[in-house]
Structure 1
């Protein structure tokens, strides 16, 4: 075995520049494949940890009945959800009032916020401090006294806040809790989501295999000789519905409505009629899919580039002969473009048709409606950009190989 390993190393390093390039590309491809498998293997654990953190900050249940509240004590807390939306992003939050001198605090919060003071997640603090969050700052005008630690967040980019209040009572919607942490069983991942993750991993692994195969082939000639309406808010004794007719042509009209509602009642929740609530697990998978798809496109571009350069090297004498017989270099340049474009265009057509069909089937399986048929357009545009990129990078090698010295015999 050691002799075979030594022989393989000798072949890898004795092939000159092409041999070293082939070995490097193969190592990169294998590394990417292993990394993808590790990410796929760790995804369930990451989702479990996310669920555990979410449960840790949920209120401790004292009864299965939602109408039963904790008894008032030195550690109990009154709170009400103040979650909101801002330009399509969900923001979690609570108004809280301590019943005694030693109130319980959520995970990741060092101290209970005083009245009109606020503890926020790092991502929300950054948003409120930027020009993009100016309208949101009007809705959350409280003084920021601290940030929520990692233990109290389910993701680094989560938008979350806790606001102290001295006016919240059970009469205006306050719900008394005794502590945090729901010891119940974790929410199981939906089977359709598991199938989706497996399909994503398989699809992302295929280009890795192609890249490795292409890398191994590199230099093969020498070896032979890849607006809005206010949502119904439950109060203890009444339920209120209100319609607000607004002009949707006004920029950020929904944010102005939410700001007005927050001034009337910080616990009032406002959502637009056309807003869609998305499951957090599916949102995480969508983000991972977008990152994986981008990485896959780059891998495909690298595989195409390696294959293109290898084909040009194999046709060195033919290219030189064509130039010697008067073939214009621009004609050969266009031929390289078409060699790159045709397989990519065919691949994009097949991918779009197959993806739409598979997506429609999965949407039908979960009894949902398609909300946007055109989400694939950015990736299609990226595929077109890859055609131009590979062609441009291939041209210097093409010009070099068309020189007269390519006609020399070895």
Structure 2
């Protein structure tokens, strides 16, 4: 009977069920998206592994089934561009995933996103860097995401450039079995993942619980009419549960439709650098079935729970009389229970095994549920003490005093989201130092470095970079190793020392030198490996240069230490290493020796110049397509930690979008229920501006209280989590204020969007009835 009332209740019933279905549907869509995330991540990993192009092991000889492939990755406007130069050496050369054939020399096959970028005005500088004709596109099987920038370009003579860094000869694609060397997951990172899932999913559950209670006051009045015609109280509650069940079931349909729509749109968006193809987002059947069962069951349980304090009699609903005060004691048990779950793990850190996942999830959920339980009591206790003020203020306060529960329910979701976000931010900030290390690079002197392949002339490169837009100064150095034996397969030299070649001005960046002119050779001491320099660099001794380029082969290039060696003192180098070595000016070395050097150009930049780093990368690509230009930073962060943090921000954006949409639906539902009241006030002469301000105050007061409570709970949860991982408890107040401000901004935006419907409802014609 309840289901029939929901479906055949006329326009009012349909609107009520539609609002409930939309609210539930938004939550269901996000839950389905969450169940699809593990599969999406797994597919991304599989696609990435399937196209791995370095085979670890002995270097292969040319054959009919070999392919020479070089890494030519670059970065453009902060986005990574995956580049590969390819040269098939036979008819059975392995074909890269996503390709039907390899491009000819001078041509390239690109991803759809890269094709769009190169065809737009924004890709002008990148087109200069990739001087190849587009001959096709990479299919989905060769990409990890729909917005990935990637290309394969045809090349020649790559075999002469095989090394251990950029170029390899392979017979198949795919990562070799490295399971034995896989590092176990850090317990603190596991804790981060558990907390992230609990914090991101909790607001979704709160919104679903709120959505099934839309239209509560009108529903109770209808139930009173049923009592008048003979329904008893238990039957009445079952009918109410049936109505909620109908809305939840339609919400499942809406949620599925929203998810399928969002799934198709997912291919055209990128969130925090992550993109997927629609085919990736396939929910786990078991988890999808759990959502399908849990949402209707929750709708029924929430409805029965909501009716426990409402007396529905044949002559009306006993709720507008003075309500009983909400009890505080049982509401405090929830956060206290959460603290009790987490407290045994305080001080455990990462050295005492994994955290108990059930206690972690249970503790976090209880603390966040505590927000939803405490907020109605807080709102009721505060608004009961609010008094005189303007007409808009009095209208708002009186409405909150009569029914503070509805206002608190509307704010519950945002409060839970903010509390969880504050705790996550504290935890991330507290452990960030453990996953961030100093690079020791002198970023005041150098902002970019360009690494050149072995044998590429590095001294002329400095001149080209010096004239590049945005470059103030270029220092070019070449390096290799000197040894007392030949470099190559087998034993190799017993002792080695570094050799650095450059102009006198460039060498002074790494050592304190006496008078210097081209042709001089120096032994530099005062850093690491003084003994090796003293032992090897003796006048008249013959030393061998490392010409193997990491391949274990190469010619035997020798050098005889001259008798007129000069001495210098090592300085903290550009890379932060103070190393004893042999320094040499260009005129002191032969042509064969120069071919063994690997060059690096260190650039002092004017980073305020427009696209300075992009101009440098373009110059590097013109010098050699395999040159690698990187921007220096003082620190670098763990890849796993960065991935978790990136995923968290992507999830938080989705949750905030859900919060905004659900709040708007909730606000419209409340305005619809008060339409006749608003029309009556306008008919009596109340100004529309006054009513609009009263609606704003009705939103602002609960949200202010909710954000204060969320901040308190979030800070408490964050402090406990930091104690668990053994980190120092500290509060990043700017982050806390920004998160609470974001929550307030979402609510104010929703309120602003609800003003046009409010104005339409504030008409005397709203009093008409049939």
State the TM-score bracket (shorter-chain normalisation). Answer: 0.7 to 0.9
Q: Distance in 2 between matches of 1:339 and 1:299?
A: 17
Which residues of 2 match residues 352-367 of structure 1 at below 5 A?
none
Q: Distance in 1 between matches of 2:719 and 2:119?
A: 41
SS at match of 1:243: strand
SS at match of 1:245: strand
The residue number in structure 2 matching 1:47 is 41
Q: Distance in 2 between matches of 1:141 and 1:379?
A: 47
CA contact (8 A) 1:118 1:146 kept: yes
TM-aligned CA distance change 1:251 to 1:304, over 3 Å? same
Return the offset for 1:269.
1.9
* Aligned residue among 680, 684, 692 for 1:320: 680
Which residues of 2 match residues 93-112 of structure 1 at below 5 A?
93-112=83-102
- 1:160-188: per-residue Cα shift (whole Å, max 9, x none)? 11111113244475222221022537889
Q: Distance in 1 between matches of 2:757 and 2:661?
A: 14
CA contact (8 A) 1:323 1:329 kept: no
How big is the alpha-carbon RMSD for the aligned residues of Structure 1 and Structure 2?
A: 3.7
Is 2:12 aligned against 1:18?
yes
CA contact (8 A) 1:26 1:216 kept: no
Tell me whether 205-214 or 111-120 shows the greater mean CA deviation. 205-214
The residue number in structure 2 matching 1:37 is 31
The residue number in structure 2 matching 1:176 is 169
- 1:201-259: per-residue Cα shift (whole Å, max 9, x none)? 22333223222223555654444456851265675265544321222222111111111
Return the offset for 1:56.
0.5
TM-aligned CA distance change 1:362 to 1:283, over 3 Å? farther
The residue number in structure 1 matching 2:578 is none
* Aligned residue among 637, 648, 663 for 1:300: 663
TM-aligned CA distance change 1:311 to 1:276, over 3 Å? farther
Is 2:200 aligned against 1:200?
yes
* Aligned residue among 625, 631, 642 for 1:266: 625
CA contact (8 A) 2:683 2:763 kept: no
SS at match of 1:85: strand
The residue number in structure 2 matching 1:338 is 697
* Aligned residue among 3, 6, 20 for 1:9: 3
SS at match of 2:214: helix
Q: Distance in 1 between matches of 2:631 and 2:12?
A: 59
CA contact (8 A) 1:123 1:157 kept: yes
Query: In the comparison of the two structures, how many residue pairs are matched?
Result: 390
CA contact (8 A) 2:7 2:13 kept: yes
Which residues of 2 match residues 7-406 of structure 1 at below 5 A?
7-59=1-53, 61-63=55-57, 68-171=58-161, 173=163, 174-182=167-175, 184=177, 191=190, 192-215=192-215, 220-224=220-224, 228-230=447-449, 232=451, 235=454, 236=549, 238-274=597-633, 279=642, 283-284=646-647, 286-313=649-676, 315=677, 320=680, 324=684, 327-347=686-706, 373=735, 381-400=745-764
TM-aligned CA distance change 1:159 to 1:362, over 3 Å? farther
CA contact (8 A) 2:450 2:620 kept: no
TM-aligned CA distance change 1:213 to 1:238, over 3 Å? farther
SS at match of 1:184: coil
TM-aligned CA distance change 1:366 to 1:120, over 3 Å? farther
Q: TM-score, normalised by structure 1?
A: 0.80
- 1:45-83: per-residue Cα shift (whole Å, max 9, x none)? 1111111111110136353xxxx4333222212222111
Tell me whether 40-49 or 164-173 shows the greater mean CA deviation. 164-173
Q: Distance in 2 between matches of 1:250 and 1:309?
A: 55
TM-aligned CA distance change 1:14 to 1:335, over 3 Å? same
Q: TM-score, normalised by structure 2?
A: 0.45
The residue number in structure 2 matching 1:4 is none
TM-aligned CA distance change 1:269 to 1:101, over 3 Å? same
Return the offset for 1:89.
1.0
CA contact (8 A) 1:228 1:270 kept: no
SS at match of 1:59: coil
CA contact (8 A) 1:25 1:212 kept: no
Return the offset for 1:312.
4.6
Q: Distance in 2 between matches of 1:155 and 1:363?
A: 35
TM-aligned CA distance change 1:216 to 1:118, over 3 Å? farther
